[in-house]
Structure 1
């Protein structure tokens, strides 16, 4: 199973786009696809504890629910290391299911045949 990688470059700066990405991620993992959300740029903030609790776009479930359901179903978050460092987000700041990684981890997933989407 090659799975799906969703590159999410937004969070608090575009809750609508972030909500769509998390709905797609949730649908993917619920369909038994190996699903990884790669958080880069402003997307890294979504992996910080407490951030999702403050986000809710009209017409979507609250972000905290989208994130917790995704993780509970087996989805993972990979957080861009330099992006997290720039935003002062460390391993101790991360939600369950998230880990800081270098770009080589993303490249390996894609090289192994994972499909990708970007939001």
Structure 2
């Protein structure tokens, strides 16, 4: 077992339920001692920009911004897909706390180390 876990998050405002549940699962993974990465891609890339997560609060869950902050504070890693972010004309100077813009090679490297992966 590699002790690595990846949540690929492809949703934001387009599907707040999936965006929220992705971070609920990521928080559970990091709390259980897994080296956990959330990869924000496709529509999920919007969550890498300050201000977007504040608008999402799915009924029955904590606000998304709170879940994201908890994840980073617990030691989780937040990666933002470089081409996805650029395609959406988002400003790299406006990243949320703890986020890093990465390319596909970084993701492949992490997965090739045996990381389990789930997509929302």
Residues 1-119 of structure 1: pairs in structure 2 closer than 5 A: 1-119=2-120
Q: Return the alpha-carbon distance in structure 2 between the equivalents of residues 83 and 51 of structure 1.
A: 15
Unaligned runs of 5+ in 2: none
Q: Return the alpha-carbon distance in structure 1 between the equivalents of residues 102 and 70 of structure 2.
A: 22
Q: Return the alpha-carbon distance in structure 2 between the equivalents of residues 63 and 55 of structure 1.
A: 6
Q: Return the alpha-carbon distance in structure 2 between the equivalents of residues 97 and 76 of structure 1.
A: 7
Q: CA deviation at 1:90?
A: 3.2
Q: Return the alpha-carbon distance in structure 2 between the equivalents of residues 82 and 69 of structure 1.
A: 26
Unaligned runs of 5+ in 1: none
Does the 8 Å CA contact 1:38/1:78 hold for their aligned counterparts? Answer: yes
Q: CA deviation at 1:96?
A: 1.1
Does the 8 Å CA contact 1:9/1:40 hold for their aligned counterparts? Answer: yes
Q: CA deviation at 1:88?
A: 1.4
Q: CA deviation at 1:46?
A: 0.7
Render the CA deviation track for 1:35-90: whole Å, top value 9, x for unaligned.
00011100000111011111100011011110110110011111111100001123
Q: TM-score, normalised by structure 2?
A: 0.95
